[in-house]
Amino acid sequence: MTERLEDIAAKMMANGKGLLAADESTATIKKRFDTINLVSTEEARRDYREMLFRTDEAMKTCISGVILYEETLYQKAADGTPFVDILKAAGSIPGIKVDTGAKPMAGFPGETVTEGLDGLADRLAAYYKAGARFAKWRGVIAIADGLPTWGSIKANSQALARYAALCQQAGIVPIVEPEVLMDGAPANHTIDRCAEVTEWVLRTVFTDLYDARVSLEGMILKPNMVIDGKNARRASVEEVAEKTVKVLKATVPSAVPGIAFLSGGQSSKEATAHLSAMNAGYDLPWGLTYSYGRALQEDALNAWGGKPENIAAGQRAFLHRAKMNTLAAKGSWKKDLEKAA
């Protein structure tokens, strides 16, 4: 009996739970490990992720699903238990990143298009067999002088739609992630420019999803928040929440069961504050939660530092961030709860 896509998507959005993005490529996790002077070996990557996945309270009460990298999907914990089984035992759904990265787009200087459609149907069948029930594909849109171009938006949007259709055919819920970068160069755009580009991108994506016959009830949207460029940050928490909700209401059909934000260059606490403000202050047609990588992991990574004796400290840091974000997904996070920790 195959699970319905709608049921998987609903479970991913249930009770303020959110998604842990643990799908860093080998190159990206190396950069993260460099910050704590740890050599990135398969064993180190396994130990780090095992620390997170075995944080029982966080996994059971806060995390509805985990986005894995292919290596991690097939990896086993130190005692031989497959990671997929550890996640399922905690009630968390295994997911998989399926794109092969944003590559420079021919004829479009400064812009990228995400690759990975070739052979994707076969890969999805294998991932489903390995236990994955949702997938993720990220399209990257840069804001700069004269960018983005329509050509770049359209190419990324159509790739997202084709990916989503292939996922649903395979019984896998697609997370559709069009990210308008806050930290692309020169990252000095205003929040209004971000709102304008985000609206343009989301309108295009939903048109292409419709044309590709993607069932909106069986997908999750993973967008950026509407926020000013990293080198121009002035917008208040309230302004980010207000402008993000306005753009989403103008572009995202209410049939979509949930929106799980990426943190995209925000600090851990900023990402939490913005999410909470949206859930507390607005009447919304869909659930809003988190799908954070760095904003859930950074404190845990630093507390662990690659040392076995610091695993408990790393797990405490991860649990704290997971709890804060689940409160934010219910609109009840407060700044003083951060200090209490």
Catalytic residues: 177, 222
Helix intervals (H) in the chain: 5-12, 26-34, 42-53, 56-61, 70-73, 83-89, 120-129, 150-169, 191-211, 237-251, 268-281, 294-304, 311-329, 335-340
Structure tokens given for 123:
């890969």
Q: Could you tell me if 88 and 131 are in contact, meaning their C-beta atoms sit under 8 angstroms apart?
A: yes
Nearest to 278 by CA among 255, 252, 301: 252
Q: Could you tell me if 61 and 20 are in contact, meaning their C-beta atoms sit under 8 angstroms apart?
A: no
Q: How far apart are CA 92 and CA 62, in angstroms?
A: 9
Q: How far apart are CA 284 and CA 273, in angstroms?
A: 17
Q: How far apart are CA 124 and CA 130, in angstroms?
A: 10
Burial class (CB within 10 angstroms; exposed 0-12, middle 13-18, buried 19+) of 47: middle
The amino acid at residue 76 is: K
Buried b (16+ CB within 10 A) or exposed e, 267-284: ebebbbbbbbbbbeebeb
